[in-house]
Chain A
Amino acid sequence: MYDLSAVRLRDVHKSFGSVHAVRGVSLSIRPGEILAFLGPNGAGKTSTIDIILGLSPPSAGEVKIFGMTPRRAITMGLVSAVMQSGGLLKDLTVRETVQYTSKLFTTRRPIGEVMERAGIEPIADRLVVKCSGGEQQRLRFAMALLPDPELLLLDEPTQGMDVEGRRDFWRAIRNDAERGRTIVFATHYLEEADAYADRIVFISKGRIVADGTAAEVKALASGRTIHATLPGADALSLHAIPGVDEVEIRGDSVLIHSGDSDAVARRLLNETLAHDLEINSRGLEDAFITLTSGVDDPRATTQRASQ
């Protein structure tokens, strides 16, 4: 019997000297899921991907890929990855690079098919050093498709691409995803996570701060923020108001996150001494900032977004 999870991380930690890059990540990814690791630079996304790939062993915790060690899963050709940058030999042509990589796997898709799917046939005979960033990224994608992997990891795949390159790249990924493979990608672009992932895992300072479907994450972001001046505010009674999600009190001013700001505002004005109300809508960007900046603040920590 095998573990049905494509990826299972159990309390994984990773330290580089005094830097604690990953601080207790537990995560189970189902086969067929398209999952985004979303977080700012330095959040621990790449470190987590390195651990999943077995490129760096975790300092503590357990990693299983389809119930195996990462290295075993890689030697069986079950896992492949598209790296952020590098990972290509400049003095080979695009076709030679694909041929080279193809020979390293036992189960492999035909070279022509893979090159067509990644859209690199027109540049097959070009030296890698002469390819643009977007073309190199599509080459990396072609290489990752060769073993017909069950799990595909993409580390900031569109980093440094222009808008058009990014669109072409995702079109290639989306065309491929129908096959049912598990895809995990790291990004710090909210739109990418929103547009292409079924499930979004927010990572900040080495921890998972939110984990939910794209819809749940949108719901998280759909609320509004109410600022008001309210001397002597009491967090407990403010929390009791229907529709209030989070309350922050800073001296005389209060900050309330709510999914129903109209009702909350009405209650505040009618039943408390609150004045100078300001209501702001909270975009995905704000949700992102709230979730990823306040990890040390327990009120801002939202596990399993909407549950």
Chain B
Amino acid sequence: MTAQSNLTAALERVPPPMGGFSITVLRLEVRRLLRSRTTITLVIAMPVLFFLSFGRSSAYVHQHIGRGNMTASEMISIALFGAVFATAAGGVTVSTERTLGWSRQLRCTPLSPAAYIVMKMLTSLTLAAGAVGAVYLVALVTSHASMPSGLWVITGICVWVGSLLFSALGLFFGYLLPPNNAANILSLVLMVCSAAGGLFIPVSQFPHRYVMLAKLSPLYGLNELVHYPLVGGAFTWFWILNLAVWLGLFVLGAVWRLRRDTARV
């Protein structure tokens, strides 16, 4: 009987390699992201506006730091803000997907949660590339930032890749909070963390009593690290420690929420 032989053949099937990771799915996820015009406008326009308002003061243009000027340093900070905002925004979309029942639908397919998260993170990188590219382009066109051309590329890549870590924060918030709140609360938290971590005004200009607080905030470590190629000097392991501890907390939080995620919302 054919039904029986179909079944016998079906029982020989194998699970997909790499947990179901797929380039086609990645492409479709990017296409989805490009359809949300408000997200794109916000994620790209906001850092550009911030750079145009804080980054170009004549004091910064004439102030040297490491191998460039303060405007270049500000460009890196603001690009990091934009990139982190983009990856976190990409991560937080899981909140909507949970409410739509899409996460549940995916649990009825061979796709592994790990492969799904990797695809979400890679998707959010395209948005982060847009944010970094836009800030660097505006800085280039307005020609106030100065540093060796190699450093433009190196710092740009560091910012872009480093921002990936904060998609874990977005995922954590996305799995933790309902969709109408998740993105807003995340924006607020990122604004506070960016200000505290010295992404808008360098920590060196903070009043002394706030410096310790700044150093313990989540974006401080990453911000110092992406400035290192420009600023140079002594390397501080505390930056790595700061980043590792916060990243660990975000990942643990996201995994903790993810494990409880198959229930109906």
Contacts and interface: CB of A to CB of B under 8 A. Distances in A.
Interface of A: 2, 31-32, 46, 50, 53-56, 66, 74-81, 83, 85-92, 96, 99-101, 103-107, 143, 147-148, 150, 179-181
A91 B36 contact: yes
A104 B11 contact: no
B100 A150 contact: no
25 contacts: A46-B264, A53-B107, A53-B108, A55-B107, A55-B108, A56-B263, A74-B108, A75-B15, A83-B104, A86-B102, A86-B105, A87-B104, A88-B100, A91-B36, A96-B28, A100-B25, A103-B25, A104-B16, A104-B22, A104-B109, A107-B10, A107-B13, A148-B10, A150-B6, A179-B6
Interface residues of B, number: 38
B13 A103 contact: no
A53 B110 CA distance: 12
Nearest to B111: A104
B204 interface: no
Contact of A104 (B7, B36, B110, B263): B110
Nearest to B12: A76
Contacts of B99: 86
Instruction: Report whether over half of chain A's contact residues are helix, strand or loop; otherwise say mixed.
Output: loop
A179 B13 CA distance: 18
B31 interface: yes
A105 B32 contact: no
B54 to A, nearest CB: 34
B105 A76 contact: no
A184 to B, nearest CB: 13
A246 B222 CA distance: 76
Contacts of A79: 108
A66 B13 contact: no
Contact of A31 (B3, B28, B97): B3
B16 A32 contact: no
Nearest to A80: B108
Interface string B7-50: 10011011110001010110010011001100000000000000
B101 interface: yes
A107 B111 CA distance: 13
Contacts of A86: 99-102, 104-105
A80 B107 CA distance: 10
Contact of B32 (A74, A76, A92): A92
A85 B11 contact: no
Nearest to B97: A89
Contacts of B7: 31, 66, 150, 180
A87 B262 contact: no
Contact of B105 (A32, A54, A87, A99): A87
A80 B13 CA distance: 14
